[in-house]
Structures are given as C-alpha cells and as structure tokens.
Structure 1
C-alpha cells in the first residue's frame, strides 16, 4: 500500500507586540553604590595634524652658524667700542 503524505497548513502564530507605556523607577534601575557608566567618546580623527619638523640640512646649518658668528662679532665689536669710550672718559675724569 503506498504511503500518502498529507500537508496541512500550520496555524498562524500571533507575532504582534504589545504597545504600551512602561513606567520604571530610576532608583530600581541603578543601585546607588554603582555609578552610571559614561559613554566613551570616540576620536573621529579630525584633529589638527602637526608634522614633525625636518632636521636642518648641513648646508643650511653652516649658513646659520656663519650668520650667528657674524652677529656675535658685530656685538662684541660694538661692546668693545663702548667700553673703550667708557675707559677713555674715566681716564679724562681722573686727570681733571
């Protein structure tokens, strides 16, 4: 005798959600001894990009050193002139 398979439709299951207002007591949600977690701020990478300074080339460094040397020589020359004038005035005062 051949076996026959009968297909019957399954009853529809109710999937409706209940709509309504849920009232909760804030004291029941968080115990008083546990602090509320603060949300972590995610860095979006929109900060100002600061590029690392490049090392000075040897040629540029030599030029800078020469400029500094010239400035130092001028300053020393000026100071020596001032000091010579000052010494000269002092000698004149002592002679008088």
Structure 2
C-alpha cells in the first residue's frame, strides 16, 4: 500500500522556528476532500487542553504519543524486572 502524499502547512510560531509536520493519509474511510482534511487537522491543533494556541501536532496525536511513551516505559520496566529475576541461580 502506498500512502497518499499530503502536504499541510498549518502551524505557525510566536518565537523561534517551528518544525512543520508532514502527514500521510494511510486510510481514508470517510473519503474526505483535501480541503476537509486540512480543515479537520487545523481544528484539531487547537484542541489541546493546556494551551489556547495552535500546537504543532493535533491533540489526538499528542495524546497518542504520550500514551505510547508511557506504554514503552512500562514494558521496559517489566522486562528489566523479569530479566533481573531470571538471572538468579538457585543451588
């Protein structure tokens, strides 16, 4: 499967420079037009609950990233405990 290239430039910065995110449409079950997709993505950048400004990533992506980081940390901690327990040798 080859994703459709989507170039959306919807972020701006108050100070300094911002990295413009790139998006790739993997599945479009809703058959959105490019304008509708751009509008949806733009609106979601204002959905962050902590700030009233636009963020570089839409809020659902930001939350998903935080959840993935948390899951990775839990998985690594679990694996380190399992490895520590398995390294003990009983006589």
Verify same fold: TM over 0.5: no
Q: Kindly name which structure, 1 or 2, has the bigger radius of gyration based on alpha carbons.
A: 1
Normalising by the residue count of structure 1, what TM-score does the alignment of the two structures yield?
Answer: 0.38
Normalising by the residue count of structure 2, what TM-score does the alignment of the two structures yield?
Answer: 0.40
* More RCO (CA 8 Å, sep 6+): 2
